[in-house]
């Protein structure tokens, strides 16, 4: 009888706690990469907890192990993550394997409209199949490969005069890749303020995705296409077009002429370090790095400028898409609360605050606001860059496709093996075999 009385007392106490709002709130775990925007999201999410009582937990993993850690979590059916801010390339596999919750009905019920977001981010972060109204994520973090430059070096009268005498045009942010290379050559090995400097930091890393993101950032504007626009997976003459060959040759020439010593395996972190330490005049990197440069003690303020990826030889101009969408993990045991977070995050006032804290909003009402361009020194370059983006394959086999491009590009650009045409012909062969295995050819 004593046990029965004790049990009844416990149940009564639990009921009292629940009725007074003191019952333990549910926790949501959001999984993402460990980088500056994640810190901004932690700060932003405090408002969600204040409004809903739902506690937010965060699992952030360094970029070097980000894909391995969280793709394994998805593929193994784990329960760690309720919300996932996964890379744009994951969307195909996560959708086809039903690892993300399809959000169409939820969006319709809550009047969340994809037309309210930058179109490229909807295609890149949310849709599968691409260019169909099937949504598996809400655009969360806009990002794109673009460039920073040492504005203070470019503005020095003696350098401007020397550059103009040599190349016949004013030293300024380049609008073409030919101009970018000339600037790189001009600064390569030059002494500035008693220190030897170099032309540019570009992506060369082989282990994950670095050299592919860098090479594609150039190849797109030289005419590279993943496939025939009228025939999916028909890649002959597109992947290895004459323009694509010239683009890859250019990327190698830029690596050979204008990068610092020891640049054979560099990606985001190495580029940040090279720029902040004053090694290079220009730096290729994702725009998420820009708030950090703007406030840095060495290169902040007027010392740094920002420019959009330049045009190719025929005037084409594209840039490699980065960034991610936020998804509800299908295996989550807290789907209702996770959807509640998505609804909260989609609000215009939350998105405006996201931009202020250092995140990159994809909501049109934020980026189209008349004050957006002047809100940060890099805002206009970010906005213009997002208008010209293309993305890597988002197929379920994207990881295999990526490994193949990493090997082909690194072997040619860095190791100097073979020719650009041989590299792209080999890549075409690799990708064809992969799609045949997938039953798509």
181 and 296 part of one domain: yes
Q: Is residue 8 assigned to a domain? A: no
| Domain, as residue range, for 399 | 146-320+393-437
Q: How many domains does the chain have?
A: 2
344 and 298 part of one domain: no
Binning pLDDT at 50, 70 and 90, where does residue 249 land? very high
**333-359 average pLDDT score:** 97
Please tell me the distance from the alpha carbon of residue 111 to that of residue 213, in angstroms, as a whole number. 35
288 and 327 part of one domain: no
**11-22 average pLDDT score:** 42
| 96 backbone dihedrals φ, ψ, rounded to 5° | -65, -30
The domain that holds 379 is classified in CATH as 3.40.190.10
**342-371 average pLDDT score:** 97
DSSP symbols for 279-340: -EEEEEEEGGGHHHHHT-TTT-GGGEEEE---B-TTS---EEEEEEEEEEBTT-S-HHHHHH
Share of the chain above pLDDT 90, in %: 94
385 and 426 part of one domain: no
Give pLDDT, residue 250: 98
**3-18 average pLDDT score:** 44
Whether the CA torsion 124, 130, 131, 132 is positive or negative: it is negative
194 and 337 part of one domain: no
Summarised one tens digit per residue, pLDDT across range 112-136 is: 999 999 999 999 999 999 999 999 9
Q: Is residue 20 assigned to a domain? A: no
Q: Is residue 17 assigned to a domain? A: no
Residue 399: HSE in the Cβ half-sphere, 13 Å Cα cutoff: 11
Q: For residue 41, what are its two tokens? A: 């999201």
342 and 428 part of one domain: no
Give pLDDT, residue 95: 97
- Residue 368: Cβ-neighbour burial (10 angstroms; 0-12, 13-18, 19+): exposed
134 and 177 part of one domain: no
Q: Is residue 248 assigned to a domain? A: yes
Binning pLDDT at 50, 70 and 90, where does residue 74 land? very high
Binning pLDDT at 50, 70 and 90, where does residue 11 land? very low
Whether the CA torsion 90, 92, 97, 99 is positive or negative: it is positive
Give pLDDT, residue 64: 85
In the listed set 390, 407, 425, which residue is the last one of a domain according to the structure?
A: 390
201 and 302 part of one domain: yes
Q: Is residue 5 assigned to a domain? A: no
Q: Is residue 4 assigned to a domain? A: no
356 and 408 part of one domain: no
111 and 196 part of one domain: no
Give pLDDT, residue 25: 60
Give pLDDT, residue 26: 83
346 and 404 part of one domain: no
Q: What is the DSSP letter of 438?
A: T
pTM of the model: 0.92
Q: Is residue 13 assigned to a domain? A: no
Please say if the pLDDT value at position 22 is more than 50: no
Q: Is residue 3 assigned to a domain? A: no
140 and 282 part of one domain: no
**154-182 average pLDDT score:** 98
Please tell me the distance from the alpha carbon of residue 17 to that of residue 21, in angstroms, as a whole number. 6
């Amino acid at each position: 009888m004593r046990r029965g009385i004790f049990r009844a007392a416990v149940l009564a106490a639990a009921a009292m706690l629940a009725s007074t709002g003191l019952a333990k709130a549910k926790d949501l775990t959001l999984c993402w990469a460990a980088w500056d925007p994640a810190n901004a999201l932690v700060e932003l999410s405090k408002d969600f907890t204040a409004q809903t009582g739902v506690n937010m937990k965060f699992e952030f993993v360094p970029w070097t192990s980000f894909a391995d850690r969280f793709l394994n979590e998805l593929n193994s059916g784990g329960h760690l993550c309720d919300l996932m801010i996964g890379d744009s390339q994951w969307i195909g596999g996560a959708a086809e394997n039903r690892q993300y919750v399809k959000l169409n009905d939820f969006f319709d019920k809550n009047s969340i409209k994809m037309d309210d977001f930058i179109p490229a981010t909807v295609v890149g972060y949310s849709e599968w199949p691409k260019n169909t109204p099937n949504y598996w994520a809400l655009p969360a973090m806009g990002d794109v490969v673009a460039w920073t430059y040492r504005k203070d070096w470019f503005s020095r009268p003696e350098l401007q005069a020397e550059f103009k005498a040599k190349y016949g045009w004013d030293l300024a942010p380049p609008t073409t890749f030919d101009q970018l290379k000339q600037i790189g050559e001009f600064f390569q090995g030059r002494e500035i303020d008693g220190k030897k400097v170099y032309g540019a930091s570009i992506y060369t890393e082989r282990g994950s995705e670095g050299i592919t993101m860098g090479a594609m950032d150039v190849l797109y504007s030289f005419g590279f296409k993943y496939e025939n626009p009228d025939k999916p997976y028909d890649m002959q003459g597109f992947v290895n077009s004459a323009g694509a060959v010239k683009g890859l040759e250019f990327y190698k020439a830029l690596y050979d002429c204008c990068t610092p010593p020891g640049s054979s395996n560099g990606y985001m972190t190495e580029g940040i370090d090279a720029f902040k330490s004053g090694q290079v005049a220009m730096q290729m990197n994702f725009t998420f790095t820009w708030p950090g440069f703007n406030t840095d003690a060495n290169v902040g303020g007027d010392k740094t400028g920002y420019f959009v990826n330049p045009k190719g030889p025929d005037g084409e101009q594209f840039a490699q898409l980065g960034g991610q969408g936020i998804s509800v993990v299908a295996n989550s045991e807290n789907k209702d609360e996770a959807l509640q977070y998505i609804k909260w995050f989609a609000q215009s006032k939350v998105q405006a605050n996201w931009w202020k804290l250092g995140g990159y909003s994809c909501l049109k009402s934020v980026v189209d606001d008349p004050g957006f361009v002047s809100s940060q020194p890099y805002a206009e370059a970010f906005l213009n860059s997002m208008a010209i983006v293309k993305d890597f394959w988002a197929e379920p086999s994207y990881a295999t496709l990526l490994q193949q491009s990493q090997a082909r590009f690194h072997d040619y650009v860095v190791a100097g093996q073979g020719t650009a045409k041989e590299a792209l012909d080999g890549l075409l062969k690799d990708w064809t075999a992969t799609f045949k295995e997938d039953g798509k050819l």
